[in-house]
Structure 1
Amino acid sequence: MMNVVIVDDDQLVSSSLKTILEADGAIRVTGIGHSGTQAVELYRELRPDILLIDIRMDGMTGIEAAKILLHDHNNAKILFLTTFSDDEYIIEALRIGAKGYILKQNFESIVPALKAVFSGQRVFGDAIISKIPSLIKQKDQPNFSQFDLTDREIAIIKQVASGSSNREIAKELFLSEGTIRNYISSILEKLELRDRTQLAIFYYKQS
């Protein structure tokens, strides 16, 4: 059974979410809050498997609450659920280490997203993923000095993060597609990442 705390300043939304989640049968909502302050208090008291939290709330925002919790509990699984796909929020969610960022409009994806986060994955909805390449292009060159990466591997990571296919990367770097696939597999293993999406998020978080 997965224990979830819901925090949303709209009481109708939070009660509706509780109904949707508990209808699944594998999710138990152990607490409901309506502010960032309550999110911090509920998480510390209940230690849920996942905190499902809105971003824009009066007083302390969801982002601010998540920063506090991730500072104190670096393994906390926090999934943002919001109506806003603002670049600033996406940047902060990626930077602080949130496990996901999905939009309320995609209500059918909420339960699958929670299950994915519970199993150790990161989840960013299609609308968010599509923004990541343009956000990356706005940033300065990331610092990879703490990682054991070659210049060629960094170049490939940057291409992946920009949304390029293996074929496009191969053409850009004058290598074969097979070589690019091998490089990417090696990079994912070295960084202990699961897929290209996580690699793009990794690149962005180094900015």
Structure 2
Amino acid sequence: MNVIIIDDDRLVALSLKTILESDPAISVQAVGSSAAQAIQLCRTSLPDILLMDIRMEGRTGLEAGEELLASYPELKILFLTTFSDDEYIVRALHMGAKGYLLKQNYESIVPSLKAIQMGQSVFGGEIVQKIPDLLQPAVGFDYQKAGILPKEEEIIKLVAEGLSNKEISQTLYLSEGTVRNYLSSILEKLELRDRTQLAIFYYQKGNPHS
């Protein structure tokens, strides 16, 4: 997988490059130090994953991420920061970032990149604990009016709980292919891009059975 690293601390950026390149499956395309460089480098050579800091001189990594995802919705972004500010986490979730890790969890960076490359979303344990409180549900959304079937309601809840397609298939006694088809239908009906946005939608709109 091709990765671009953006961090305004050069020592951190080079350390990350060393860590990533110790794995033969990862190639670091470029290293930058600002939001402007992130945008420029991604436009020049779009990576599989952009590994980016949040607080930097000038524009933040969040601003760069929003601009890049508007142009390249297929881009996968993993934020790596020392800050677990609630506002940052919510904004990263809303834009569709694939992950949010704290820098002290260096050992989890390579496994997280691989998980993201496989289509998963990765949020550090400290972040996951915060998400339900940050995205307090608003009761009253009519899933039936949106064309969501009862079985799809069950799948929405299980996705929000963090279950994989395989785990959902085992829970509901469905094939993984059927779960994927249901999930595609749900995303289309609710006009959402991926399962991360679906989980956010669930927490914001409330339990389908409430």
Q: TM-score range by the shorter chain?
A: 0.7 to 0.9
Q: Secondary structure at the match of 2:31?
A: strand
Instruction: Give yes or no for contact 2:20–2:27 (8 Å, CA) kept in 1.
Output: yes
Task: In structure 1, list runs of 5 or more residues that go unmatched.
Answer: 164-180
How many pairs does the alignment contain? 186
Instruction: Give yes or no for contact 1:4–1:50 (8 Å, CA) kept in 2.
Output: yes
Aligned with 1:202 (options 173, 183, 198): 198
Aligned to 1:92: 91
CA distance in 2, matches of 1:200, 1:75: 14
Instruction: Give yes or no for contact 2:152–2:182 (8 Å, CA) kept in 1.
Output: no
CA distance in 2, matches of 1:14, 1:143: 46
Aligned to 2:189: none
Aligned to 1:20: 19
Q: Secondary structure at the match of 1:25?
A: coil
Q: Deviations over 1:146-185 (max 9, x none)?
A: 8532579658856974x6xxxxxxxxxxxxxxxxx43999
One-letter amino acid of the counterpart of residue 132, structure 1: I
One-letter amino acid of the counterpart of residue 99, structure 1: K
CA distance in 2, matches of 1:109, 1:29: 17
CA distance in 2, matches of 1:146, 1:62: 37
TM-score, normalization by structure 1: 0.75
Q: Deviations over 1:76-134 (max 9, x none)?
A: 11111111111111111111111111111110000001111112211112111111111
- The answer as to 2:68 corresponding to 1:69 is yes
Instruction: Give yes or no for contact 1:94–1:205 (8 Å, CA) kept in 2.
Output: no
**What's the CA shift for 1:200?**
7.2
CA RMSD of aligned residues (A): 3.2
Deviates more, 1:147-156 or 1:73-82: 147-156
One-letter amino acid of the counterpart of residue 87, structure 1: D
Instruction: Give yes or no for contact 2:5–2:32 (8 Å, CA) kept in 1.
Output: yes
- The answer as to 2:112 corresponding to 1:107 is no
Write out aligned runs for 1:146-185 (5 A): 147-150=146-149, 154=153, 157=156, 161=160, 181-182=171-172
Task: In structure 2, list runs of 5 or more residues that go unmatched.
Answer: 162-170, 186-193, 205-210
**What's the CA shift for 1:28?**
1.2
One-letter amino acid of the counterpart of residue 13, structure 2: S
Aligned to 1:140: 138
CA distance in 2, matches of 1:132, 1:92: 12
Aligned to 2:129: 130
CA distance in 1, matches of 2:40, 2:158: 41
